[in-house]
Amino acid sequence: MAIIFDEEKRTFSLHTRHTTYQMKIDKFGVLLHLYYGRKTEGCLDYLLTFADRGFSGNLYDAGQDRTYSYDALPQEFPYLGSGDYRSPAFVVKDNNGALDCDLRFDSYFISKGKYGLKGLPAVYADQDQAESLEVVLKDTRLGAKVSLLYGVLPKYDIITRAVAVKNEGGASFDIDKIASASLDFLTGSYDLISFYGRHGMERNYQRNKVSHGVQLIGSRRGASSHQYNPLMILTNPQTTETQGSAWAMEFVYSGGFRGMVGKDQYNQTRWQMGLMAEQFSYPLEPGAVFYAPEVMMTYSSEGLSRLSNNLQSCIRSHVCRGRYKDQIRPVLLNSWEACYFQFTGEKLLKLARDAKDLGMDMFVLDDGWFGKRNDDNSGLGDWYVNEDKLGGKLKNLVDQIHDMGLLFGIWVEPEMVSEDSDLYRAHPDWALTVPGRKPIRSRNQLVLDFSRKEVVDTIFDQICQVLDQVRIDYLKWDYNRSISDVYSQNARDQGTVLYDYILGLYDFLERLTARYPDLLIEGCSGGGGRFDAGMLYYTPQIWCSDNTDAVDRLRIQYGTSFGYPISAMGAHVSAVPNEQSGRVTPLGTRGTVAMSGTFGYELDPGKLSDKEKAEIRRQVAVRKQYARLIFSGKYYRLSSPFTDPVGAWEFISEDGNELLVNAVTLENHCNMPATYVRFSGLPKDAIYKETETGRLYPSNALQQIGIPVPFGMGEYRAFQWHFDRVR
Ligand code: GLA
């Protein structure tokens, strides 16, 4: 049993293979959080302390006892109105405008399998792979029923949380804020690791001490964003990649979010993840239910690599879906950096022939094939083929590409509209705009109001018409601006629009994946502006970044790896000087970096020398050889490309029999000290044989000291060492 309710102590214990999570219903029916960490037995309510705390008010039910205060006790689901003045997870406004709430335990249900969330992505599992717990809290005055949902996947050390709020009363109330997960740590010092960025440089790693006052990350952009990823990790100050405690919260949602951590007056730490509260206000009518999206949580007592492994394998097996979930993805050539908007049908066929000649599996036609779209100022919303530009029907082009033995993919950006488009001219009110105001333009485009069903339906039909014309094997789903001008014509309340927008997006994607089960979809948002576990439920891979510079990519992919599987990271080799940074890196290095992702190219092979072409053929072959190991092996970060002279990372098969270590030098100096790459996660006392040299290495030494990176001239040299275990 993964979930145990102790009738006598009134505790819920959630156990995974290596972790335990515990909460308690106290004598007042208040749900207190007790513990989340290393697996343990017993009742942990001895951790609670009670004292008369000035200016921390007392629960009325406690009578003359001044030691009982919500403000000092660890809460499982803190809310405004309880006398807990720390950051609430739940703010509700009654129909008189009072911000007030009082939630007490009502009932609980334990079931086999994993709960689902209507209209939202969520971790899924078979009956024997997970258990679910629903703890029902009620506010009788409001008529609010709050179901705290927990999913436990023991194998992955994953616990999920979500919240369902039902109005069982006679009057409506507003949800003004809701965090799906809130954790209180009674004691301890913590660091917060989070991932900030910008367009072209997503998911930079940062680690800060958690102190008094709060640290806040999040997005008001309508999407999870380039600026902060919805992933937070807490560690103890001593925690490293391989040692110490680490906890993660990862939001399974693609819209705005708010992540918060801070120390309170008694040095307790509160940590939350949930919906962005600004521009959010959700009126709940009698009988209606609101679902707060899911947060995945995990804990590792063995450092950050283990933590990432938990998240990566759970996402790969229990978030991603569809035919491609476990399949090695086709190596592709994408037309974007090869020719941007400037192409003809002939040019595309030439690119496809080159791709085939170089051993690739798929050709992808990026932006520019539809409507009036010869630059990024027009055409979005008009999803019909520009046959003049292609020199004929799409089917004609695609059939020829299929005949070459290649798969074919195409780019779309369904959520957007250009003012210069037939769609906008016919339905200007379908773009999010505030009446009487000129909207904010970004990339000269506006966002379609996906909170409206008729808008979603119309675009869905348009996209289906394209997909029904001809067999399309892959779709790149792009989203190239942040949302502003949040106003929807039909909304009950403008505070629901951003949430309903995401439900509209998910509805579209759900219908699309159901109708085209063989279609591989790659998510994208100006690169990695919507790289989150919510999107991964529909699109098993996401373009990591518009930045294809191999050195920047080392950092971007390093940051991404903390919360997401390698199989999800869209990564391509592009031309040099790199078109985003101007940097020149060796082709071998670009290949090594992109190989630790879905792998492909976006360049014009016609511009390459024979030597470069030979190198690409080699890369494609190497990648195919190691694809399974890269795709589903355990992944270890061996150094930090932000601070170390070498960026290094490792893949090891589940059984430890096969090993691939990659390294890229980031510094080169005259007369340099040697740098060693230390391996991780190897079985003890094993012997490994390096494939190229046949040389034998003992695992204990590889893990203790590692191997020296060969000296050499020039910057950004890449190495790949492959090993088989011989003992
Ligand atoms: C975005 C994507 C790119 C490319 C362009 C096309 O920026 O991230 O890969 O598809 O759009 O306009």
pLDDT in tens, 167-214: 999 999 999 999 999 999 999 999 999 999 999 999 999 999 999 999
CB 466 within 8 A of CB 393: no
**What's the pLDDT tens digit per position in 124-141?**
999 999 999 999 999 999
CA nearest to 607, candidates 652, 629, 577: 577
* Beta-ladder partners of 647: 664
Q: Give the chain's count of helices (H) and strands (E).
A: 13, 38
Q: What CATH number does residue 654 fall under?
A: 2.60.40.1180
Domain count, the chain: 3
Atom of ligand 1 minimally distant from the CA of 524: 8
Atom 1 of ligand 1: nearest residue by CA position: 526
532 as an active site residue: the answer is yes
Please tell me whether residues 198 and 335 are part of one structural domain: no
> How many whole angstroms from 337 Cα to the centroid of ligand 1?
9
Ligand 1 geometric centre to CA of 376 (Å):
10
Whether the CB of 247 sits within 6 Å of ligand 1: no
> What pLDDT is attached to residue 685?
98
pLDDT at 490: 85
Which one of 334, 367, 442 would you pick to mutate in the ligand 1 pocket, going by the greatest count of ligand atoms within 8 A of its CB?
A: 367
Compute the distance from residue 333 Cα to the ligand 1 centre, in Å: 14
366 lines ligand 1 (CB under 6 A): yes
Q: 409-419: buried (b, 16+ CB within 10 Å) or exposed (e) per residue? A: bbbbbbbbbbb
- What single string gives the DSSP state of each residue in 510-575? HHHHHH-TT-EEEE-BTTBTT-SHHHHTT-SEEE--S---HHHHHHHHHHHHTTS-GGGEE-EEE-
pLDDT at 683 exceeding the cut of 90: yes
Tell me, what CATH number does 435's domain have? 3.20.20.70
Nearest Cα residue to 36 out of 243, 181, 214: 181
Express as a percent the part of the chain with pLDDT over 70: 100
Same domain? 223 vs 348: no
Q: Under a CB-based contact definition with an 8 Å cutoff, are residues 116 and 133 in contact?
A: no
Residue 414 to residue 381: CA distance in whole angstroms: 7
Find the 411 Cα to ligand 1 centroid distance in Å: 9
Q: Which of 412, 413, 452 is nearest to 430 (CA)?
A: 452
pLDDT category at 498 given cuts 50, 70, 90 is very high
Domain identity same for 240 and 375: no
Clarify whether residues 273 and 338 are in a common domain. no
Mean pLDDT of the chain: 98
Judge if 360 and 467 occupy the same domain.
yes
CATH number at residue 162: 2.70.98.60
Tens digits of residue pLDDT in 529-586: 999 999 999 999 999 999 999 999 999 999 999 999 999 999 999 999 999 999 999 9
Residues 336, 297 within the same domain: no
**366 alpha carbon – ligand 1 mean position (Å):** 8
Q: Is the CB of 526 under 6 A from ligand 1?
A: yes
Q: Are 363 and 474 in contact (CB under 8 A)?
A: no
User: Do both 714 and 658 map to the same domain?
Assistant: yes
How far is the centre of ligand 1, averaged over its atoms, from the C-alpha of 40 (Å)?
49
Residue nearest to atom 4 of ligand 1 (CA): 336
- Residues with Cβ < 8 Å from 647, sequence gap 6 or more? 554, 555, 558, 639, 640, 641, 663, 664, 666
State mean pLDDT over 438-454: 98
Domain that holds residue 721: 646-725
Q: In 3-state terms, what secondary structure has residue 213? A: strand
Q: Is 105 in the pocket of ligand 1 (CB under 6 A)?
A: no
Q: 544 CB less than 6 Å from ligand 1? A: no
Catalytic residue among 354, 361, 415, 532: 532
The enclosing H or E element of 292 equals strand 289-300
Residue 1 predicted with pLDDT over 90: no
Catalytic site residue from 376, 419, 507, 612: 612
Residue 253 lies in a domain: yes
pLDDT per residue over 604-647, tens digit each? 999 999 999 999 999 999 999 999 999 999 999 999 999 999 99
Q: Would you call 473 a catalytic residue per the annotation?
A: no
- Ligand 1 atom 12, closest CA: 367
Strand partners, 291: 164
CA gap 80, 388 in Å, rounded: 60
Q: Is residue 639 part of a domain?
A: no
8 Å CB contact between 57 and 69: yes
Is-above-0.95 flag for pTM? yes
Q: Is 336 in the pocket of ligand 1 (CB under 6 A)?
A: yes
CB distance 338 to ligand 1 below 6 Å: no
Considering the domain boundaries, does residue 636 fall inside one? no
